[in-house]
Amino acid sequence: MMKVFNIVGARPQIIKAAAISRAIRNHFQDSVEEILIHTGQHYDHSLSSVFFDELEMPHPVYNLKVGSGSHAVQTAKIMTGMEELLQKEKPDVVIVYGGTNSTMAAALVASKMHFPVVHIEAGLRSFNKSMPEEINRITTDHVSTLLFSPTITGFKNLINEGFHPENSPTYTIDNPKIYHSGDIMYDNALYYGSLVKKKNGLLEKFGTEPEEFVLATIHRPENTDDPVKLQKLFSCLMRISEEKQHSVILPLHPRTKISLEKTLPGDFMKNMKKNSKLHIIHPVSFLEFILLEKNAKMILTDSGGVQKEAHFFEKPSIVLREQTEWTELVNNGTSCLADSDTNEILKAYEKFANGNTYRFPKFYGDGKTAEFICNELLNNF
Ligand code: UD1
Ligand code: UDP
């Protein structure tokens, strides 16, 4: 029996881990023992506990309850907690996802204690090291033993950083294996997408219909921590909901809520609250969010996961960032990089609102990536 640490901390990691948990439950129950570990980086019900039952996941066996803090404090607490768990449980392998502080902290401790690290979502790069995620994922990749890149671009990034695709077993931290595996989030989109009911009352709550609203999310520090950018982005959402034919639904990340309340002028906030076509709501569950994605006319976001889900559900997206790791979407013409530039955002909005049909090629595998990854773990550990 292979003992696997499955590490989650932030919302998107819980969702990603659900794909691996599902593959284990359905295909590898006799050969893999999963120990789900929550670092506690995200702890609000709407960013954490809401997902476990809905996504049919096991509940975490351990929760380190690290909570919020500076990068150093959060990273240090995760490392200390993980060290104890690794000593106690001695897993065969440690799986980490994406590029959060939880990812890097767990990978650093595990690798230094000589436990093999498996990085799912390896190789993604924005080439902007002012993003904390860029530092986290580069560090994680370089201490990992198996690296699963969702895209060919990510796979090539790894080769450019000195990883050798021709390495052969036995794989170790000094002789790592890189894969172009496909994306477990595509597995999830197919699986959970089929569970979402067409009408569950959610759209009616906002007085809107399919294709009549724009879905938005904003949470990146480069947007939330810069009051000028933040005001520009929310002004655009106001303009779309006031002047254009679409209402806007924005499930608000707590980080953004705090910044809005702290930094935007009182008058501006009052106008936003008065606007009946701008629905700023609490974060919603994954199935509810998928329902919104499937029914939106288009999606405005600075989220990594949401950009791709827009593609999975064949919706164009406006990316509120300067760069993206998912460059194939921009090259495909269905994602526009607009940063917080009002003209660029409104230009992209007009382009996507005009009813053209777009192609959404299958860039992200066959929907069975989690199964492939589990097989590779069993072959190698
Ligand atoms: C983190 C990840 C980011 C990922 C995002 C997913 C890092 C460096 N960043 O960003 O890569 O895209 O998660 O959503 O790891 N807060 C709450 N309740 C919570 C969690 C956070 O109110 O349950 C507030 C706190 O004020 C906290 C702030 O949000 O300081 C930021 O949380 P944090 O986990 O540090 O980073 P995220 O912005 O969520
Ligand atoms: N999501 C959700 N509820 C919400 C907003 C997002 O379930 O209210 C999901 C979304 O479907 C995607 C993931 O959260 O799978 C993206 O997480 P986030 O944007 O926080 O992080 P990122 O992907 O940018 O790291």
Ligand 1 centroid distance, CA of 126 (Å): 19
Ligand with minimal distance to 101 CA: 1
Q: Quickly list DSSP for 87-126.
A: HHH--SEEEEETTSHHHHHHHHHHHHTT--EEEETTT---
pLDDT tens sequence across 226-244: 999 999 999 999 999 999 8
pTM of the model as a whole: 0.98
Ligand with minimal distance to 301 CA: 2
Residue bearing tokens 């076509």: 277
Residue 199 has a pLDDT of 61
Decide: 294 in ligand 2 pocket, CB within 6 A.
no
Judging by DSSP bridges, how do beta strands 317-319 and 2-8 pair with one another? unpaired
Ligand with minimal distance to 77 CA: 1
Q: Which domains does the chain have, with CATH numbers?
A: 2-183+365-380 (3.40.50.2000), 194-354 (3.40.50.2000)
Mutate which of 8, 16, 42 for ligand 1? The one with the most ligand atoms within 8 Å of its CB, which is 42
Decide: 284 in ligand 2 pocket, CB within 6 A.
yes
pLDDT tens sequence across 10-21: 999 999 999 999
Q: Which of 279, 295, 282, 283 is nearest to 197 (CA)?
A: 295
All residue ranges of the chain with pLDDT < 70 are: 198-199
**Cα 291 to chain centroid, rounded:** 17
Residue 61 has a pLDDT of 98
Check if 282 is active-site: no
φ/ψ of 315, rounded to 5, equals: -120, 140
What number does the ligand 2 atom closest to the CA of 305 have?
23
Q: Quickly list DSSP for 312-364.
A: HTT--EEE-SS--S-HHHHHTTSEEE-TT-HHHHHHHHHHHHT---------S
Decide: 42 in ligand 1 pocket, CB within 6 A.
yes
Residue 198 has a pLDDT of 67
Whole-angstrom distance, CA of residue 305 vs CA of residue 100: 13
Residue 355 has a pLDDT of 75
Mutate which of 75, 129, 255, 301 for ligand 1? The one with the most ligand atoms within 8 Å of its CB, which is 255
Mutate which of 131, 303, 309, 326 for ligand 2? The one with the most ligand atoms within 8 Å of its CB, which is 303
